[in-house]
């Protein structure tokens, strides 16, 4: 019997209309376009401004586009996996709220929280469900409203983050396409370096946590940068070595968009040509779990069936890894 692979058969994306550029940020805090661009490579980011809307709103917009492009109907979906750090609420899951927006009534739906590495974890999880033979049409989302947890009084983190959502449709195939292999890791020692310090069960919301701005992203930038450079590059290179892949074998590298210098380290380790690297950090910023699916969404017309694509990410936890897939169409 032929092995079942999990292949991407469609993609959708959404970013808000509002553009927050570096010039506007410089009127809000002590920063400049030159300072931001030099350090992280970001020129602008998208911000969701619609009142009373959250991550599920953007995810549903991406899902609607995917449905239109692929002709998929809501009743065909049997599983939804949502990678997000910014769900609409602590509960119910953002996946369930997105399902409601899309009219999906007969699927299992749940969230995965692996921060910026969430999408590749969710995609590998979806592949395992598909390979079991139990699920046939799976939506995998990476979606974030990072502006909701960004402190616009903190010049070290405010320039980094943007909002957006991407989604892929994953289905079974017996062709040598789809998710081929992955290396995924966690080291909890990194928790203290990148964290939302309040609002959970250990430090519930209070007047004090609001006053001390503990409901926003806290990041020790140098520690995070050091681990991200080492681990994203290492996981990508190790995955390629494990599968006998060289730089020239890779059609596209789609890295998490946190910092151009981190991406440079991945390129140096893998040997992939820089013109084969998907980059959107300059105009979307760091959209956390949404960055990789948004990158694929923007580059999809360049992808060809059978292309070897490496996805790699690093995020809070620390969580990191790399995934090798062959493009499905």
Annotated catalytic residues are 116, 256, 286
* Calpha distance 143→161 (Å, rounded): 13
Nearest 5°: the CA angle 185, 82, 188 is 25
229: tokens are 């450079």
Q: CB of 302 within 8 A of CB of 17?
A: no
Is residue 12 exposed (0-12), middle (13-18) or buried (19+ Cβ within 10 Å)? buried
Q: CB of 170 within 8 A of CB of 126?
A: yes
| Nearest one of 256, 288, 262, 320 to 124, comparing CA atoms | 320
User: Residues with Cβ < 8 Å from 142, sequence gap 6 or more?
Assistant: 83, 84, 118, 119, 122, 165, 166, 167, 288, 289, 290, 291, 292, 293, 294
37: tokens are 């661009």
Residue 326: how many other CB atoms lie within 10 Å: 20
Residue 248 is classified by DSSP as: G
């Amino acid at each position: 019997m032929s092995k079942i692979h999990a292949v991407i058969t469609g993609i959708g994306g959404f970013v808000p209309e509002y553009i927050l550029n570096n010039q506007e940020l410089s009127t809000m805090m002590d920063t400049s376009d030159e300072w931001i661009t030099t350090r992280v490579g970001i020129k602008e980011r998208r911000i969701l401004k619609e009142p009373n809307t959250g991550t599920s709103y953007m995810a549903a917009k991406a899902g609607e586009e995917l449905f239109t492009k692929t002709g998929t109907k809501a009743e065909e979906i049997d599983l939804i996996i949502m990678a997000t750090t910014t769900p609409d609420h602590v509960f119910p899951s953002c996946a369930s709220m997105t399902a409601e927006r899309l009219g999906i009534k007969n699927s299992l739906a749940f969230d995965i929280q692996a921060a910026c590495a969430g999408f590749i974890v969710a995609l590998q999880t979806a592949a395992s469900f598909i390979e079991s033979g139990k699920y046939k049409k799976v939506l995998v989302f990476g979606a974030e409203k990072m502006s909701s947890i960004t402190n616009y009084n903190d010049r070290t983190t405010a320039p980094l983050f943007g909002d957006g959502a991407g989604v892929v449709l994953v289905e079974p195939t017996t062709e040598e396409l789809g998710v081929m292999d992955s290396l995924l890791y966690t080291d909890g020692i990194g928790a203290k370096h990148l964290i939302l310090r309040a609002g959970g069960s250990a430090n519930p919301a209070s007047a004090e946590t609001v006053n001390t701005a503990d409901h926003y992203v806290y990041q020790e930038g140098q520690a995070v940068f050091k681990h991200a450079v080492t681990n994203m590059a290492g996981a990508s290179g190790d995955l390629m070595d494990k599968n006998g892949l060289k730089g020239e074998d890779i059609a596209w590298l789609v890295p998490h968009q946190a910092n151009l210098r981190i991406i440079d380290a991945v390129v140096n380790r893998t040997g992939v040509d820089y013109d084969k690297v998907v980059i959107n950090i300059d105009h979307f910023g760091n959209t956390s779990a949404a960055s990789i699916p948004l990158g694929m969404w923007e580059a999809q017309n360049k992808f060809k069936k059978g292309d070897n694509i490496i996805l790699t990410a690093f995020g809070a936890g620390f969580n990191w890894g790399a995934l090798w897939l062959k493009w499905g169409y």
